[in-house]
Structure 1
Amino acid sequence: MNSNSRACVAYVAAGLCGKNGSSVYDYEQSKHISISGTVDANNVNIYDHERSCHVSGSPSSLYDYGNSAHIQLTMNGTQFSGYDYHTSNHFSGNVNGNSISVYDYETSTHYNYSV
């Protein structure tokens, strides 16, 4: 999964846990990624200002217009898992307050974010 798609997933997961912001901090890239829009249990409509693209749909069936591919996201409390159709790889993670951790099976690496 590319770095900005991962950041968008982190932003959505945090939003579904009640944590909203105007950006997500990507510790891997050491920078804030500006993201705006709405996230709720039925609808996601966010805009990644860095890539100039939307990510929208229901949480379980997101569409990343930057990659022209779907992302499946399943929440279980503060834990989440999913599948990125752009890279054909799974991911998982958790939300702990304002901190989000995403494990990307494509790279076998944990990525950390905050909102």
Structure 2
Amino acid sequence: MSTVFQINQFNSTYWRNAKGTWRDTNAIGTWKDYWLEHSDMKFPLMCSVIGCANRAVYGAHVTQSEDVFDKDAMYIAPLCRYCNNPMSMLYFNLAVGTRLVSVK
């Protein structure tokens, strides 16, 4: 069962892109569909990464774990194409109001 939580205040917790997830599937469809199904929200227009003004297009796998392959610590967050790339940035903060859905 998926756990949903929302970032309600700015904190210094850093997130990063999970790795090795591009082949992962779910029973609902895309990971954006998965986020929509479990978050009970409309998909946001803007990327969830603080400082990014791009349009959110993906349900992206993110983690706080140092082990970027740890499936037990992965969440889905709305990100843009640039921010949904492990090579584009190492760490980032997520904006207040971001709703995260656990992969499990």
Relative to the length of structure 2, the TM-score reads 0.29
Instruction: Give the structure, 1 or 2, with the largest relative contact order (CA under 8 Å, sep 6 or more).
Output: 2
Relative to the length of structure 1, the TM-score reads 0.27
Q: Which has the higher strand share?
A: 1
